[in-house]
Structure 1
Amino acid sequence: MLKVLFTLGLGLGLAANASAQAPAEWQEGKHYTLIEPPQATTTGDKVEVLEVFSYACPHCNEVAPMVADIKKRLPATSEFVMIPAQFGFEAWKTYARAFYTAQALGILDKSHEDMFRAIYVDKKLDIRSPTFASLAEFYSQYGVSVEDFTATSRSFAIETRLKRNDALIKAYGVESTPNFIVNGKYLVSGQTAGGYNNIEALLNYLVAKESAGS
């Protein structure tokens, strides 16, 4: 946990001091890390741009508006995907389970930004020890009963997603949040990019690189 918090703090400091001007040329091993071996993607012919995040991560909350803007402006050749990290923390796993359940029930797009607000602004949900009952109640405002949400959360499909994507995050080499993965090949963080002001430019560079087949 200390390692995660240290990395987050370092990334935040870089974000505050970084210029919005991206470097003239991005360098592998400096601005982004090559993932070996590359991991399979879920977006077909489109270049996958994936954010590893958690609702239990305060820094993910801070950069969420930036991430939403990046998602809207991505090239048509790419597709944005999110997966929630667990890192062995029970609270993070609970929020990850809620994320996958909302996704399975088709209410994620409506609830995603509201979840951050409920935790960090309205203080309606506990960041350290959330109960699943409180999360099910939160999601009930989107037309899903507490009973249906709870039942779906305990399904084999959700358990499979939790285990599979936890293993995938480890295969990426991700140890903190938020991090970004482009096409299962490149790992990007606020630290490697030289600040979060540079994330969008770097992601676009890597998307173009993959789209060109280079």
Structure 2
Amino acid sequence: MKLTRFLLPLFAAVALTACSDDSPSNSEKYSTLDVPVQVANLPVVTEVFSLSCGHCRSMESAIPAIEAAADVNIGKAHVTFNESATFSALIYYAAVTQTEGKPSEELVEALFKYVQEGQTDDAEENKAQLGKVFKEFGLTSPYDLNETQQAELFSALERADEITTEAGIVSVPTFLVNGKYIVNTSAHDSAEDLAATLKMLMKKDNQAN
């Protein structure tokens, strides 16, 4: 499948609705999956987010403090639970696959800005603006990826979709711990509070053994 065929219909009308597909109403700090996520090489802690989510964009500045307080390197997975999120995921992983999996903070912020602020009703203008963002960081536009790059992109997207589906993610930002605990970020008062929950969950299985 050609990437352009998939992306073009999405450029016309992308709503910023990816923060929640069906937000949970409980106030518990975390929930436990009945069946753990089976995706290979899953980080101990994974932040699940979307470029089209304003809360996720705000969370970016807190991640270093959370990592330091919880003593863990936090991985990332972009949700795919609706059309808006999938569109954003394609953009994100087009960048990730060209930066050896480690896009800079500046690049990620530029992607947030494009998705949330930079789009118009003109699909061709959106395409041109996205190309400028990628060119600024020495990257190839998602529209101009070669077949090998497209394969890498869709492999990453498929993995993200598996995480989204297996974890039953319906609201972001959230954190997946040990592949089985879903953290309710809205039930926490601060980055320190969130880090404490992450630390507790990382140790939970070890303590039970």
TM-score normalised according to structure 2 size: 0.71
Separation in structure 2 between the aligned mates of residue 34 and residue 55 of structure 1, nearest angstrom: 26
Separation in structure 1 between the aligned mates of residue 96 and residue 208 of structure 2, nearest angstrom: 31
Name 1:7's counterpart in structure 2: 23
Aligned residues: 187
SS at match of 1:51: strand
Q: What is the aligned-residue RMSD (CA, Å)?
A: 3.6
TM-score normalised according to structure 1 size: 0.70
The answer as to whether partners of 1:70 and 1:200 remain within 8 angstroms in 2 is yes
Separation in structure 1 between the aligned mates of residue 135 and residue 86 of structure 2, nearest angstrom: 20
Structure 1 gap segments, 5+ residues each: 15-29
Deviations 1:163-190 (A, max 9, x none): 3321321210210111110010100022
Deviations 1:79-105 (A, max 9, x none): 31111112221x322221121111111
- Aligned residue among 29, 36, 39 for 1:38: 36
Name 1:170's counterpart in structure 2: 165
Separation in structure 2 between the aligned mates of residue 6 and residue 148 of structure 1, nearest angstrom: 31
Separation in structure 2 between the aligned mates of residue 70 and residue 176 of structure 1, nearest angstrom: 19
Structure 2 gap segments, 5+ residues each: 1-16
Q: CA deviation at 1:206?
A: 1.3
Name 1:136's counterpart in structure 2: 131
Q: CA deviation at 1:113?
A: 2.9
1:101 aligns with 2:81: no
The answer as to whether partners of 1:119 and 1:127 remain within 8 angstroms in 2 is no
Separation in structure 2 between the aligned mates of residue 73 and residue 138 of structure 1, nearest angstrom: 33
Separation in structure 1 between the aligned mates of residue 147 and residue 87 of structure 2, nearest angstrom: 14
Separation in structure 1 between the aligned mates of residue 76 and residue 120 of structure 2, nearest angstrom: 19
Name 2:50's counterpart in structure 1: 54
Which amino acid is 1:38 matched to? P
Separation in structure 2 between the aligned mates of residue 136 and residue 168 of structure 1, nearest angstrom: 28
Deviations 1:131-190 (A, max 9, x none): 444323201111224488533696122223223321321210210111110010100022
Separation in structure 2 between the aligned mates of residue 127 and residue 146 of structure 1, nearest angstrom: 18
Deviations 1:63-118 (A, max 9, x none): 2211242234442xx431111112221x3222211211111111612511333345
Name 1:81's counterpart in structure 2: 75
Matched residues, percent identical? 20
The answer as to whether partners of 1:86 and 1:92 remain within 8 angstroms in 2 is yes
Separation in structure 2 between the aligned mates of residue 127 and residue 178 of structure 1, nearest angstrom: 25
Separation in structure 2 between the aligned mates of residue 128 and residue 66 of structure 1, nearest angstrom: 33
